[in-house]
Amino acid sequence: MQPMHDIGLEIRHTADRGRGLFATRPIAAGSLLMEMKGWLAKGSELQVSWLCLQVDHDLWLCSNGDLLDDCGNHSCEPNAGFVDGRPVLFALRDVEPGEEITWDYSTSLSETGWALDCRCGSPKCRGVVRGWFELQNEERDRLMPIALRYLRPGQPSSRVAFSLRER
Ligand SMILES: [Zn+2]
């Protein structure tokens, strides 16, 4: 497991949400936090033991759970997002040392039927996290600027636009 990262992130254990990613030093708004990594697989190839991030229609970025980017928890009001549409997290605002880095899981997932009870504590908390197309319209509009490119209307898919690198 990678304990640290150039930008100043480390994995810590949280009281109620398993592992989390925390800033070890001040991070300025707009900073690149991390590129999501792993190998690419289609939905039919996914294994239960993998951690998988959807990055396109029927395309997932997978790992064994030992990568730094596997540890980012969800928040309905995150401080990190896919600002340029690639599976790369950028800081949405200034982040203080000790603050947890979070992103919104709905900004990557187009599959329906998936649900996660949320304990993010934000006033904007949706209570249950679901796929992109199960969000209310106003929520989708709010999250559009930090969603993966393939979820944004009229955009080419992330694979075509950025030719994702396999590990
Ligand atoms: Zn929430």
Distance 35 CA to ligand 1 centre (A): 23
For residue 8, the CA-to-ligand 1 centroid distance in Å is: 25
What single string gives the DSSP state of each residue in 3-18?
-EETTTEEEEE-SSSS
Name the strand (E) or helix (H) holding 56: strand 51-56
**Mean pLDDT confidence for 48-75:** 92
Contact 29, 94 (CB under 8 A): yes
At residue 160, φ and ψ (nearest 5 deg) are -65, -45
Indicate the SS3 state at residue 135.
coil
Q: How far is the CA of 117 from the centre of ligand 1 (A)?
A: 8
Q: Which fold has domain 4-154?
A: Beta-clip-like (2.170.270)
> Within the chain, where are the H helices?
137-143, 158-162
Predicted confidence band of residue 49 (pLDDT cuts 50, 70, 90) = very high
User: For the chain, what are the domain ranges?
Assistant: 4-154
Ligand 1 center to residue 163 CA distance, Å?
A: 32
Q: Is 102 exposed, middle or buried (0-12, 13-18, 19+ CB in 10 A)?
A: buried
Q: Ligand 1 centroid vs 161 CA: distance in angstroms?
A: 30
**Calpha distance 73→119 (Å, rounded):** 10
Q: How far is the CA of 122 from the centre of ligand 1 (A)?
A: 6
Note the pLDDT tens digit of each residue in 124-163.
Answer: 999 999 999 999 999 999 999 999 999 998 766 655 444 5
The average pLDDT across 24-49 equals 94
